[in-house]
Chains A and B, each alone.
Chain A
Amino acid sequence: MRRTLGIAIASLLLTASVQAGAPEIRLEFWTISLRPFFTDYITELARTYERQNPGVRVRWVDQPVGAVVQKLLGSLAAGTPPDVVNLNVPMTAELAQQGGLFPLGDLLRPEDRDRYFEGMLRSFEIAGKLYGLPWYVAPPVVAYHVGIWRRAGLDPDRPPRTAEELVAYAKRIKDRTGLYGFMPNVDGTNLLQRFQEAGLPILAGGRAVFHSDRHVRELERWVRLFRQDYFPEETLRRGYLGATERYTAGQLGMLITGPQFLLRVRHDNRAVYDQTRVGPYPLDRGRVIHAPLMGLAVPRTTRHPREAVRFALYVTEDRNQLAFCRIVTIFPTTKAAARDPFFTRLPPKPTPEDHARVLDARQLPYARDLTVVVPHQGELMKAFRDNVEAAFFGRKTPKQALDDAVRFWNARL
């Protein structure tokens, strides 16, 4: 009896010690502002990965968009970085230039690379090395308030088809209703993307060239609209968040934004959401649309680079991207997922998000992340922003502002 008991205890202890000694890899996964809307999706994603990969544990941490870079920098300095982190292209460029990210190239097989749209994958190439896997993309749409449009005498069945028409509609809304027609994406450094959408170059031969007469005319146009009060001053300070708030309050004729923000409108003001229709973002002369791209990067000092890349590949695989796209109007970065009928067919009772999905899917061939990646990213972008703002507030002429910004850039490039 005593012997049997001894054997049982010994085998229990042995089992426990084997379990305790089993290799367990803990991956920390940071996302940006996905709580609370997507908590279930991310949690399920992580749990499924753990089930499929015994011995791997995933810890999900959601960071606010304004703090993710600082927190990542802090964790890198402290030697406790996450293993996989969600970054957009500008953030990836900044951190990669500082040597904070792991180049993924060697850990990817050619077939892994082939899954993604080439342009999107290349958006994460900095100085010839790949630092991120594209996760999701959201080309802009024009959401518009049918009631305001009717008051302005605009036909809700005829959304603007060109960039000029978009501006003309916005002016008409302001003139006829007193409400602002739009909050264009000219805040911060978005004018760099506007230039490219208008077919104007930013860099040539490694030098900044955004001060030609055509660039100056483009900036003059926006400054004139600003001075004539055709878009609110808040546009320059609060960008798309301010636009979403104003639209949600029923105080804006058109909302130019990623379709995922329709979720916020639906959540915050159902009455405005019910008055909302969606049209395509008009193509300008550049035949290209800036589509902010989100990706997954691996910090340089991670202890598990291989496992981190495997997890990033898993998160961005077709099935998981499709599942994400089904709960919010975003678009996949893999070619196979984008071919799914979900992006081409409208359901019987389509919502604004359904319309946005089908419209945006048609625009995907024109969508690029037009973020300009340059050395000293933060410093150069601040110089650009400050100069353009000085032009908007009449402290500099548009020509002087662009000349000054180009001079600053070329001295640092």
Chain B
Amino acid sequence: MRGSRALSLAPARSLAGPRLRTTLTAYLFLAPALVLLGAFTFAPLAFGTLLAFADYNVLAPPRWVGAENFRTLARDPAFWVALRNSLRYLLVVPAIQVAALALALLVNRRLPGITLFRAAYYVPVITSFAVAGLMWNWMYAQHGVVNWVGLRLGLLARPFDWLNHPTLALYAVMLVTFWKGIGYYMVLYLAGLQAVPQELLEAARVDGAGRVQAFLLVTLPLLRPTLLLCTLLSTLAAVKVFEEVYVMTGGGPFGQTTTALLYVYQKAFQEFRFGLAAAAGLFVAALGLGLSLLYVRLFREGGLRPW
């Protein structure tokens, strides 16, 4: 009797033991990352969410105001201008993806000095926004090189301050974002291209596919994970663009280049309305999340599963 019970329990114990150990080990490995994420991501997120419903200026304790901050945002035309500018900024996304992919294709070959080219395109990525902003500030200035070239080519009637133009300033800053980001995405695409199995491309060519057909029918589908990653990253970067606008235009003239995150900064650090800033920040986060989900869904419909 005793022996039979021991026999019947033995397999269960032997299964539960390793499974528990495996689970514990896994969580033990995860623990440092979870602690860090909790402290530096989830706790500030929770605090920020709470703050969105409070009146807070850092120096006095927060005061609960319910949905008042969201009502203020809805009534503030400057917020809608900022949001519109952030959505306009999404124009950078397709441009930077196409250009980065084209560049990656260009440098994905065995040519003498190609490493130098790859590195050269990556230099803007590692240049700080302060330096890049200052440099482009001079280039866009009335006596800067952009106006000089424009005048020489007869494209401009007179020099003007590109970063102070109510309509063009935002696009001028977008160009800097494009210039600065292209190398980053190029490297990602280059990694994706180098992971494409050569035998598949060779098989396609044996079957009579030309270069363009091989790219469209073999390379591009295999690049979909990279495309999704790059599009997601650049979309999120566009929605929360801040540094380049702050350094180059400060949001002016008359708020025409203010983006959503710059609006958050202005409310928090120039007007000390941290509750309102948190509410606007939540809105930006929700926008980024919504766009991310949309992209993932779009790419999945295009055939994510066979990947």
Q: Are A395 and B164 in contact (CB under 8 A)?
A: no
The distance in angstroms between the C-alpha atoms of A390 and B256, with both chains bound, is 10
Instruction: Give per-residue flags for B146-162: 1 if the beta carbon is below 8 A from chain A beta carbons, else 0.
Output: 00000000000010110
As a 0/1 sequence over residues 371 to 394 of chain A, the CB contacts with chain B under 8 angstroms (1 = contact) are 000001011001001110110110
Q: Give the complex CA separation of A194 and B254 in angstroms.
A: 19
- Contact, CB under 8 Å: A393 / B249: no
A100 with B254, Cβ < 8 A, contacts A234-B164, A236-B164 known = no
Contact (Cβ within 8 A) A99 B254? no
* Interface contact B272-A233, CB-CB below 8 Å: no
Instruction: State whether A382 touches B143 (Cβ < 8 A).
Output: no
0/1 string, A311-335, CB within 8 A of B gives 1: 0000000000000000000000000
A379 CA to B255 CA, complexed, in Å: 13
Q: Which residues of the other chain, A, contact B188 by a CB distance below 8 angstroms?
A: none
Bound together, the chains give a CA A385 to CA B78 distance in angstroms of 13
User: How does the 8 Å CB contact mask read for A349-382 relative to B, with 1 for contact and 0 for none?
Assistant: 0000000000000000000000000001011001
Residue in A77, A376, A382 whose CB lies within 8 Å of B266: A382
Are B272 and A387 within 8 A (Cβ)? no
User: Does B270 lie at the interface of the complex (its beta carbon under 8 Å from any beta carbon of A)?
Assistant: yes
Q: Is B271 an interface residue (CB 8 A)?
A: yes
A77 to B58, CA, bound (A): 6
Chain B residues near A70 (CB, 8 Å)? 269
Q: Is A113 an interface residue (CB 8 A)?
A: no
- Complex partner residue of A99 from B60, B143, B166, B249, CB under 8 angstroms: B60
A94, A98, A379, A395: which contacts B254 (Cβ < 8 A)? A395
Name the CB-closest residue of A to B253: A389
B59, B142, B166, B266: which contacts A98 (Cβ < 8 A)? Answer: B59
Q: Are B143's CB and A246's CB within 8 A? A: yes
A376 touching B254, Cβ below 8 Å: no
Chain B positions within 8 Å of A305 at CB level: none
Contact of B271 among A77, A99, A378, A386 (CB under 8 A): A378
Distance, CA A163 to CA B142, complexed state (A): 26
Interface flag for A215 (CB, 8 Å): no
Q: Write the nearest CB–CB distance from B56 to chain A, whole angstroms.
A: 10
Q: Is B57 an interface residue (CB 8 A)?
A: yes
Q: How far is the CA of A379 from the CA of B268 in the complex (A)?
A: 11
Are B272 and A390 in contact (CB-based, < 8 A)?
A: no
> Cα distance A246–B142 when bound, in Å?
10
Question: Which residue from A98, A237, A395 sits with its C-beta under 8 Å from B58?
Answer: A98
A233/B271 in contact, CB under 8 A:
no
In the complex, what residues of A have CB within 8 A of residue B253's CB? 236-237, 389-390, 392-393
Closest to A392 in B: B253
Chain A residues within an 8 Å CB radius of B280: none
B252 adjacent to chain A (CB < 8 Å): yes
B-side interface size class: 20 to 34
A76 interface residue per 8 A CB criterion = yes
Give the interface SS of chain A, mostly helix, strand, loop or mixed: helix
Bound complex: CA of A345 vs CA of B255, how far in Å? 48
On whether the beta carbons of B271 and A73 are closer than 8 Å, the reply is no
Question: A174 on the interface (CB 8 Å rule)?
Answer: no
Cα of A269 to Cα of B160 in the assembled complex, Å: 25
Shortest Cβ distance from B273 into A: residue: A379
Contacts of B254 in A (CB 8 A): 385-387, 389-390, 393, 395
Once the chains are docked, how many angstroms separate the CA of A236 from the CA of B161? Answer: 10
Question: Which of A237, A246, A300, A392 has most B Cβ within 10 Å?
Answer: A237
Q: How far is the CA of A395 from the CA of B252 in the complex (A)?
A: 13
**At the interface, yes or no: A232 with Cβ under 8 Å from chain B?**
yes
Residues from 49 to 89 in A contacting B, C-beta threshold 8 Å = 69-70, 73, 76-77
Given A237-B161, A389-B254, A73 and B58 contact (CB-CB distance below 8 Å): yes
Say yes or no: A378 contacts B57, CB within 8 Å: no
Complex-state Cα separation, A382 to B60, whole angstroms:
24
Residue A251 is within 8 A (CB to CB) of chain B in the complex: yes
A84-141 contacts to B, CB under 8 A, are: 94, 98-100
Is B278 positioned at the interface, with any CB of A under 8 Å from its CB? no
- Residues of the A chain whose Cβ atoms lie less than 8 Å from the Cβ of B252: 236-237, 385-386, 389
A100: chain B residues within 8 A (beta carbon): 59
A378 CB contacts on chain B under 8 angstroms:
270-272
A290 to B269, CA, bound (A): 26
- Check if A94 sits within 8 Å of B142, measured CB to CB: no
Per-position binary interface string of chain B over residues 244-281, scored 1 when its CB falls under 8 Å from any chain A CB and 0 otherwise? 00000110111100000000001001111100000000
When the two chains form their complex, are residues A94 and B272 in contact, meaning their CB atoms are under 8 A apart? Answer: yes
* Nearest CB of chain B from residue A371's CB, rounded to whole Å: 15
Q: Nearest residue in B to A300 (C-beta to C-beta)?
A: B59
- In contact, A234 and B142 (Cβ under 8 angstroms): yes
Within the complex, the shortest CB–CB distance from A190 to chain B, in Å, comes to: 14
Q: Is B92 an interface residue (CB 8 A)?
A: no
> Would you call B141 an interface residue if the criterion is a C-beta within 8 Å of the partner chain's C-beta atoms?
yes
Task: Find chain B residues with CB under 8 A from A94 CB.
Answer: 272
- 8 Å CB contacts to A: which residues of B65-114? 78
- Is there a chain A Cβ closer than 8 Å to B163's Cβ? yes
Q: Contact between A233 and B58 (Cβ–Cβ < 8 Å)?
A: no
Q: Chain A contacts of B163 at CB under 8 A? A: 237
CA distance A234 to B248 in the complex (A): 12
Contacts of B266 in A (CB 8 A): 382
**Are B271 and A379 in touch, CB under 8 angstroms?**
yes
Interface 0/1 of A209-246, CB less than 8 Å to B: 00000000000000000000100111011000000001
Give the most central of B166, B254, B255: most A CB within 10 Å.
B254
Report B55 CB to chain A, min CB distance, Å: 12
- A residues less than 8 Å from B271 (CB atoms): 376, 378-379, 382
27 sample A-B contacts, Cβ–Cβ < 8 Å, listed by A number: A70-B269, A73-B269, A73-B272, A76-B58, A76-B59, A77-B58, A77-B59, A99-B59, A100-B59, A233-B164, A234-B142, A234-B164, A236-B252, A237-B163, A237-B252, A237-B253, A246-B143, A300-B59, A378-B270, A378-B272, A382-B271, A385-B252, A386-B78, A387-B254, A389-B252, A390-B253, A393-B253
Given A98-B59, A233-B164, 10 more pairs with CB closer than 8 A: A94-B272, A98-B57, A98-B272, A99-B57, A233-B142, A236-B252, A379-B271, A389-B252, A389-B254, A395-B166
Name A's B-contacting residues (CB within 8 A): 69-70, 73, 76-77, 94, 98-100, 229, 232-234, 236-237, 246, 249, 251, 300, 376, 378-379, 382, 385-387, 389-390, 392-393, 395
Q: What is B's interface to A at a CB cutoff of 8 Å?
A: 57-60, 78, 141-143, 158, 160-161, 163-164, 166, 249-250, 252-255, 266, 269-273
